[in-house]
Chain A
């Protein structure tokens, strides 16, 4: 939906002008705990839809009247096509005789994207992005955030008195936190289904002064992640290269960038391998 109908200019215009738009993650994935009030409202909407004999499951467009009644639904298999969603919206605009919303109210109510901040003192947020580079490039970019604690950041640095040429392996506990997210956008988005099968990440001091230590990273990962369900197992293999800067006085990572040099996701469908190129990119949140 995000790459198809919700990015269609006609849909964007109609939804933005005539309706109060909101998205709802049924499983609240990557989000905080859901309030009891919201849970009750979702339950009420589902019951009302059922009572009115309307179609659609959890992945669906719901149109709610100002009093909360479910006016109409359009299941995802239809709504993903803008040529279905546009007339569906136009019909509601005509039937309800809707006038556009006040542009000032629209602007005031739009939510801005919240920055992800560390929850621990001295923690570092690493922003992971992955993307398919083959036929599924249209899936767009997937994002995850990983927090390294101040102690874990220290483990990235090979030695306490770092000198150019010093190198060491980054401990598994730190590497796996990050590498577990290195799967591409896919119908199975759940990190709990990812397993790091093998990993290596070598940190080498490139330059060191009292003010800054610059460290190079080279590594590789093999990760198990199903494309969809258990009938489509998949495996990511990637070589990685990165550089980060560490302030030894503040004991803090001041910049971090890592990308895959070669990465592929091979998943199985009815016993046949489906190889796809992908890319992984990581940076520190400012």
Chain B
């Protein structure tokens, strides 16, 4: 009887592991999907050598005697939440 219980417990454990493996997410595929989204980012505008802040832009403008190109917006252009 005890032998049968051990056998059943082992079988249940094995089935449980098999079930876990069957529903195991494909880690490599998930990482590929994450990479695909990263690659889809619009990066052209990042080629512009943006300076860190308005005050820094004003300082450099005075120093170099060049006008400031100020793109004022709502949200955050850097993160696409705009």
Contacts and interface: CB of A to CB of B under 8 A. Distances in A.
Given A66-B61, A257-B27, A140 B41 contact: yes
A interface: dominant SS:
mixed
A144 interface: yes
A29 B76 contact: yes
B59 to A, nearest CB: 9
A15 interface: yes
B65 to A, nearest CB: 5
Given A139-B80, A216-B23, A41 B60 contact: no
A167 to B, nearest CB: 8
Interface residues of A, number: 86
B67 A31 contact: no
B10 interface: no
A58 interface: yes
Contact of B67 (A7, A19, A38, A218): A19
Contacts of B76: 25, 29-31, 189
Contacts of B38: 129, 141, 281
B52 interface: yes
Interface in A1-34: 1-3, 6-9, 12, 15-16, 18-27, 29-31
A55 B50 CA distance: 24
* Ranked 3 nearest A-B pairs via Cβ: A7-B44, A110-B49, A22-B57
B69 A15 contact: yes
22 contacts: A1-B45, A1-B71, A2-B82, A6-B71, A6-B77, A18-B66, A19-B66, A22-B50, A22-B53, A22-B70, A26-B72, A30-B81, A38-B55, A41-B58, A71-B67, A96-B67, A141-B41, A165-B16, A189-B76, A216-B23, A259-B34, A282-B34
Contacts of A67: 62
A200 interface: no
